[in-house]
Chains A and B, each alone.
Chain A
C-alpha cells in the first residue's frame, strides 16, 4: 500500500505479518497485539525494530508501559466513520509518550488527513498513490483550529490573545 510520510510518498520498510506467518530473519515486522503478547520474549530477542498494529477496538492502554519498544504503531480505521483511533492516537502521544512513527491504516481518505495529523499521526497508508498528490491541498484547506489537540498548532483563541494565553503547559506531554 502506498505510504504518505511528511506529506510525500515514502518507501515502506515495514512488513505486516499475519499471526500465523513466520517472520523472516531480515524483515522488520508489524505484529498484532495478540502476537506481541504471546511472543513477547522471542520478538524482543530478535534485536531488530518491531512495529505494533492495534485494531480500533484495542485500547493502547494495553501497551502503555512499553511503548518505547515499538518503532512504529499502526492504528486501524476499519471504516471511515470509526473514530476510535483518533482518541487512541492522542493517548499514545500525549499520555504514554510514544515518539515513534504513528501510522493510520485501513480506510484512510483524503478528507481525514487534517484530523489525523492533528491527533498525532505522522504517516498514512492510503489505497491510491494519487492521494499523496492531494495531500498538500487536503491539509491546507483549513488553516485555523479552534481547539488544542496533539499538534503544536496554536488554536484561534491563543492567536487572538497572543502567546501569553497559551499558558506554561504544552499540550503534548510527549515532547
Chain B
C-alpha cells in the first residue's frame, strides 16, 4: 500500500497545525460558530444531533494493521469505545470533544492518516473497489489512480469551494464493485484495441433526492491525461454548476440541464486548452506511486488444503461462514475474506476498539497486514492462505466477528438515521436491527441467497436505498416515521434505480413487508435465480400484488 514520503508527512503535519489553529481560534471565541463552520467542514468535523462527529479518511478503503490499531486507540480514548465504518469507506467517531480534535488528528498523522476533505463542498475521499489488487477480474489496481487523485485533490486551490460535494470512484475491473455509475465522476478502467489501459469516464451519477445513473462522456481516456481531464470536468462544473439551490447543485443536475452532449463538448473544449501543458503527472511520478501497489511476493500456498476440506465437513458453522465470506483471489492458494460488521441485532458498520484490534492482529497473523473497508460497511482481509481460513474463522468467532451473512439479507447498509442525524425523518439502524432479528436464522438466509437491503433515514439517501435489491426510505407522514420500499436497484455495471412498490409502511409494519417480499421471491424463483435475476424477469407486479393483497 501507499506510504507517505517526507513531503506527504510534512503536508499532513502542516494541515493539522493549521486546523489546530482554527480550533484554538474557535475555542477562544475569535471565530464564531458560523465562521468556524466552513473551516471545520473542510476537515471532516460535523455538528450532529448530540455532539461533534469526526469523519476520518480511509483513502480508497485501504488500511494497515497499524492504522487500524490507531483507530482503536482513538475509539477508546476519544469516543465511547467504538467507531462507525461508512458507505464511503471512511470511519466516523460520534462523540469527540472539540478541544480534543487536534490531539486526535496528531495521532492520526503519526500513522499517515487524516480527515482532510472528508466533508465540505470539495473533492471528497476517493473510493475504489474493496477487492483492488487481488481481484481475479482486474485490469489494473484502481488504487494507483485513486492515490493520484487523492494527492491532486488535496487542498486544490481552484476546487475547494465547489457548488456541492464531489465524489469520485474508480474501478479497475469490468465487474463494478465501486458503483462508479452512481458517482459525480466514475472511472472504469479498460483496454483499448491496442491494449493500452485507460478509463471510461462517467459523469453525473448520484443518489440523494434525485437518483441518476451517470452518463458516459468519454469512451477512452489514456491514463497519462487523467488529471488534466479531471481539471477540465471540475472547472466546467465549478463555473457553471448551480449555486442558487442546494438541491440542484450537484453535477448531475448540470449534466441534465445542459444536456450530456453539450456538457461533453464543454469539457472536451476545456480539456483541449489545458492538455499537454504540464498539469498531468509526469510518468516518473506515476511509476513511483504504482510501485507501492505492486503485488507482494506471495509465498506458495496449497491450493486445495486437505485440512480445509476436513474443517468444512466437521464444522458446519465454518462451512456456512466460508460460503458467505470467501471470494476468489487472483493468486492460487489464497482467498479474499470479507468480515461482516453486521452482527444480528447490531448497528451496521460499527466496530468496537477491541474488534478493531482483533482484526489488526488477524490481518497480520493470517494475511499480509492489510485491511480494506468496503462500501457495504464490512471489512476485508485481502490475502488469506486457504489453509489458514479455519484458524482465522475461530479468531473472528472469539471477537464476535464471524457472522456468516456477507451478501445476504441481514448484511444491511443503513445510514445513521434519526439516532444521530439531524436531517433524518426516521430511524434506520433499528429497522436494520429488527430485520436482522427477523432473518436471524442463517440457514434461511443462505436459502434466500444474495440479497441487498439498504436503508436511508431520509431522502438524502446516505444508506443507498435507491440501489438496493430492496431499498427502504424513511419518510415523514404527519410527524410519524414511515418507510417507502423500492425494488430492483443495482449499483454495479448493470446500474438501475429501484422502483417504488406502493404506499409506505409504518415502523411496525416494515419488517413484515420485507419478509413478504422475500417470501414472494422464494415462491417464484426458478433454477437458483438470485433476487435480482428473478426481479428482472418478473418485474414489480407479482411482489406488489402479494404485498398489498391483505390491505
Q: Of residues A80, A109, A146, which shows the largest number of chain B Cβ atoms within 10 Å of its Cβ?
A: A146
Q: Which of A83-135 contact B (CB under 8 A)?
A: 83-84, 86-88, 90, 95, 109, 111, 114-116, 118-119
A142 and B52 alpha carbons, distance in the complex (Å): 26
A50–B330 CA distance with the chains assembled, in angstroms: 66
| Docked complex Cα distance between A68 and B115 (Å) | 43
- A148 interface neighbour in B35, B278, B285, Cβ under 8 Å: B278
Contacts of B278 in A (CB 8 A): 148, 166-167, 169-171
The reply on A13 being an interface residue by CB < 8 A is: no
A83 to chain B: which residues have CB within 8 Å? 121, 158-162, 238
B530, CB-defined interface residue at 8 Å: no
Q: Determine which residue in A118, A147, A167 has the highest number of CB atoms from chain B within 10 A of its CB, and name it.
A: A147
Question: A161 touches which one: B38, B227, B284 (CB < 8 A)?
Answer: B284
Contact in complex: A144, B14 (CB < 8 Å):
yes
Contacts known (A146-B152, A149-B157, A160-B5); A82 close to B243, Cβ less than 8 A = yes
Chain B residues, CB < 8 A from A142: 11, 14-15, 18, 155
Q: Is the CB of B155 within 8 A of A145?
A: yes
Q: How large is the interface on A (under 10, 10 to 19, 20 to 34, 35 or more residues)?
A: 35 or more
B209 within 8 A of A: no
Asked if residues A161 and B239 are in contact (CB atoms below 8 Å), the reply is: no
Decide: A159 near B7, CB < 8 A? Known: A81-B38, A86-B158, A146-B154: yes
A26 within 8 A of B: no
Total number of B residues with any Cβ neighbor in A under 8 Å = 42
From residue 227 to 283 of chain B, which have CB atoms closer than 8 A to chain A? 227, 235, 238-239, 243, 273, 276-279, 281-282
Q: Are B161 and A80 in contact (CB under 8 A)?
A: yes
Interface string of B272-311 (1 = CB under 8 A from A): 0100111101101100100000000000000000000000
B151 proximal to A (CB < 8 A): yes
| A65 interface hit (Cβ, 8 Å) | no
- Verify A148–B14 contact, CB threshold 8 A: no
B445 at the interface (CB under 8 A from A): no
In the complex, what's the smallest C-beta–C-beta distance from A56 to chain B, in angstroms? 8
Q: What is the bound-complex CA distance between A147 and B153, given in angstroms? A: 8
Q: Is A157 an interface residue (CB 8 A)?
A: yes
Q: Would A144 and B7 count as touching, CB distance under 8 A? A: yes
- Cross-chain contact of B277 among A59, A145, A158, A173 (Cβ < 8 A): A173
Question: In the complex, which residues of chain B have a beta carbon less than 8 angstroms from the beta carbon of A148?
Answer: 278-279
- Asked if B313 is an interface residue, CB under 8 A from chain A, the answer is no
In the complex, chain A residues whose CB is within 8 Å of the CB of B21: 141
CA distance A142 to B154 in the complex (A): 12
The B1-36 residues at the A interface (CB cut-off 8 A) are 5, 7-8, 10-11, 14-15, 17-18, 21-22, 35
A171 close to B285 (CB less than 8 A): no
Hey, which chain A residues are within 8 Å of B18, CB to CB?
A: 141-142
Residues of A within 8 A of B152 (CB): 146-147
Distance A148 CA – B159 CA, assembled complex (angstroms) = 12
Q: For window 19-56 of chain A, which residues contact chain B by CB distance below 8 Å?
A: none
A143 at the interface (CB under 8 A from B): yes
Closest CB of chain A to B118's CB: distance in Å? 17
Q: Render A65-87 as a binary contact track against B, CB cut-off 8 A, 1 for contact.
A: 00000000000000011111011
Q: When chains A and B are docked, how far (Å) is the Cα of A82 from the Cα of B241?
A: 11
Contact flag A119-B157 (CB < 8 Å), given A142-B11, A161-B284: yes
A58–B288 Cα gap in the complex (Å)?
Answer: 41
Flag if B158 contacts A90 (CB, 8 Å).
yes
Q: Which residues of B contact A167 (CB under 8 A)?
A: 278, 282
Q: Determine the residue in chain A with the shortest Cβ distance to B22.
A: A111
CA distance A146 to B159 in the complex (A): 13
Are B157 and A141 closer than 8 Å at their CB atoms?
A: no
B517 in the interface (beta carbon within 8 A): no
Determine the distance from Cα of A109 to Cα of B154 in the docked complex, in whole angstroms.
20
A165 and B451 alpha carbons, distance in the complex (Å): 49
B35 proximity list for chain A (CB < 8 A): 109
Q: Indicate whether A156 reaches chain B with its CB closer than 8 angstroms.
A: yes
B-side contacts of A59, CB under 8 Å: 239
A115→B120 CA distance, assembly (Å): 16
Interface assignment of B421: CB less than 8 Å from any CB of chain A? no
B540 on the A face (CB < 8 A): no
Q: Which residue of B lies closest to A114 (CB)?
A: B157
A169 engages B11 (CB within 8 Å): no
Q: Report chain A residues within 8 Å CB of B327.
A: none
B156 within 8 A of A: yes
B227 to A, closest residue via Cβ: A147
Contacts of B121 in A (CB 8 A): 81, 83
Given A146-B11, A161-B284, A115 and B157 contact (CB-CB distance below 8 Å): yes
Nearest Cβ distance between residue A28 and chain B, in whole angstroms? 29
The residues of A that contact B285 with a CB separation of less than 8 Å are 157, 160-161, 165
Task: Give complex CA distance A146, B152 in Å.
Answer: 5
Tell me whether A87 and B238 are in contact (CB under 8 A). yes
> At the interface, yes or no: B98 with Cβ under 8 Å from chain A?
no
* Bound Cα distance from A82 to B164, whole angstroms: 10
Report the bound CA distance from A143 to B155 in whole Å: 12
Residues of B within 8 A of A88 (CB): 239
B518 adjacent to chain A (CB < 8 Å): no
- Give the Cβ gap from A150 to chain B, nearest Cβ, in Å: 8
Q: What's the Cα separation between A167 and B278 when bound, in Å?
A: 7
Contact of A80 among B11, B38, B155 (CB under 8 A): B38
Of A81, A141, A156, the contact of B17 (CB 8 Å cutoff): A141
How distant is B272 from chain A, measured CB to nearest CB, in Å? Answer: 12
Q: A142-B155, A146-B152 are in contact. List 18 more A-B contacts (CB 8 A).
A: A82-B161, A82-B243, A83-B162, A86-B160, A86-B161, A115-B160, A118-B157, A141-B18, A142-B11, A142-B15, A146-B153, A146-B155, A157-B281, A160-B7, A160-B288, A161-B282, A161-B284, A165-B285
Nearest first, the 9 closest Cβ-Cβ pairs linking A and B are A83-B161, A118-B157, A115-B157, A157-B285, A165-B282, A141-B18, A156-B7, A144-B11, A169-B278
12 A-B pairs with CB atoms under 8 Å apart are A81-B38, A83-B159, A95-B273, A142-B18, A146-B152, A147-B151, A147-B157, A147-B227, A156-B7, A156-B8, A167-B278, A169-B278
A residues with CB within 8 A of B: 59, 80-84, 86-88, 90, 95, 109, 111, 114-116, 118-119, 141-149, 156-161, 165-167, 169-171, 173
